[in-house]
A = this chain, B = another copy of it.
Amino acid sequence: MPAFEALADPTRRRIVEMLARGALSAGEITQRFAVSRSAVSQHLKILRDARLVSAHAMGQRRIYELDTSGLVELEEWLDRIGPVWQKRLEALERERHEMLTVQPSRWRAAHSEDR
């Protein structure tokens, strides 16, 4: 599951966000960051391996664009977890049921912030 590993880094997330607005060359990407070319290049390699971006040569520069395969992998994982809105409803309903059946004092004790 390389997409999650790739997107764990904030710089790489920003690169993906940038490319979502349109293709850019490696140099153009670098300009928008405070880090060196090689750092960006290394990030791009990780994103390429995760199929989140793809590159093709145009003369001496490499044009990067979004590759949706990695994003699809992400969406599929989320789908496997299940519909989020449904789980939110379930949680609320569970809580409502507890509030109605358990004594308020006990309920607050069981749900007081953990740690």
Chain A residues proximal to chain B, CB less than 8 Å? 1, 4-5, 7-8, 10, 13, 16-17, 20, 48, 55-58, 62, 65-66, 68, 71-72, 74-75, 77-78, 80-82, 84, 87-88, 91, 110-111, 114
Q: Which residue of B lies closest to A70 (CB)?
A: B84
Would you mind naming 12 contact pairs between A and B with Cβ atoms under 8 Å apart?
A1-B10, A1-B13, A5-B8, A8-B8, A56-B110, A57-B114, A58-B110, A66-B87, A68-B87, A68-B88, A71-B78, A74-B74
Contact residue among B7, B17, B58, B84 (Cβ-Cβ distance under 8 Å from A75): B84
Interface of A is mostly: helix
Taken together as a complex, chains A and B put the C-alpha atoms of A13 and B4 apart, in Å, by 9
Question: Are B68 and A74 interface neighbours, CB within 8 A?
Answer: no
Taken together as a complex, chains A and B put the C-alpha atoms of A20 and B86 apart, in Å, by 12
Contact residue among B16, B56, B65, B81 (Cβ-Cβ distance under 8 Å from A16): B81
Contact of A56 with B111 at beta-carbon distance under 8 Å, contacts A7-B4, A80-B17 already known: yes
> Smallest Cβ distance from A13 to chain B, in angstroms?
7
